[in-house]
Chains A and B, each alone.
Chain A
Amino acid sequence: MNAAQTLWWEQVKSDLAIFVQLKRTGAPQCHLLHYLQMATEKLSKAYLWRSGKPPPKTHTGFVRFLKALLDRRAPELERIARALGFKRPADLNAWVVTVQGLAYGLQNIAPAEAKNGPNPEYPWPHEAPSHTPVHHSFALWTELMETGRGRGLMGFIERSIGRFASLA
């Protein structure tokens, strides 16, 4: 892990810790999703810093991380798959296919990506607000919490952050 990755990773860990604290207190979904989205975006940036070059400030969300991870050399991917709880790289690859919709949901809920629709930070639509995040029930949150696929993705995110040194 290089110096830039270490700095980003420290921030990712803190974001995730705040998410966990907020979840324990029963905070509204919007705040939980906000921290979860930020944690995954920063996880992606922390990972992409492995090239030694700064990733773009935008469009570097969670799906980029998943794709870049799967593009690693075969021997490295063996080790990474095991660190993330999969027996083989093929299992990790197949699992990513099943969660890509959720991963895009998490990536695209950021205000800059949400196309003036539901997002965890600002009332929408911007020009004539009719909804506010704090009172919104997010289908994404329900899917993350109440489906096996969603819970699997949550576990994957926690392992990716906790074991980041194994994949950086």
Chain B
Amino acid sequence: MSNPFDRDAMARCYAKRHFETDSGVQQIKYLPKGAPDSEIRFLEVNRMIAETDDPEPIDFGVDIGNANAHTLYVLDVTPAQWEEIQAGRMRLPPGWTLEDAKSFPE
């Protein structure tokens, strides 16, 4: 049976919800390049969080053990950290890249 999971569609759905339910989120970068087919990677720029030295992505545990099973990782960064990442002074987690990133809101 084919996997009905549509990664891009799900990413849009999650991003919409995150903007609705978290006023701290200023922008979301969806980073599909290099990610496994069943993995959604978000970098969320959040003005409400405190800065930590080495932010780590969090597995939200969204969908486990069925035909649509997939993983949503969210890396929260402050606006200042986002500036650092874009300037190449702060690294993304191993295997993550901004190449081919899609931005929300679109």
A interface residue numbers (CB < 8 A to B): 47-51, 53, 55-56, 58-60, 63-64, 66-68, 70-73, 93, 96-97, 100-101, 104, 108, 112-115
Chain A min CB distance to B58 (Å): 6
Which stretch, B64-72, B83-91, B94-102, touches the partner chain A? B64-72
Number of CB contacts from chain A to chain B under 8 A: 78
Interface size class on chain B is 20 to 34
Subset of 16 A-B contacts with CB under 8 Å: A56-B56, A59-B52, A59-B55, A59-B56, A64-B58, A66-B21, A67-B17, A67-B18, A67-B22, A68-B60, A70-B21, A71-B17, A71-B62, A72-B63, A114-B50, A115-B50
A108 touches B62 (CB 8 A): no
- Also in contact, A50 and B50, with CB within 8 A (given A67-B18, A73-B68, A93-B20): no
B34-74 CB contact bits vs A (8 Å, 1 = yes)? 00000000000000111010011011111110101001101
B interface residue numbers (CB < 8 A to A): 14, 17-18, 20-24, 48-50, 52, 55-56, 58-64, 66, 68, 71-72, 74, 76
- Also in contact, A67 and B60, with CB within 8 A (given A93-B20, A97-B20, A100-B23): yes
The CB with the most chain A CB atoms within 10 A, among B21, B59, B66, B72, is that of: B21
B-side contacts of A93, CB under 8 Å: 17, 20-21
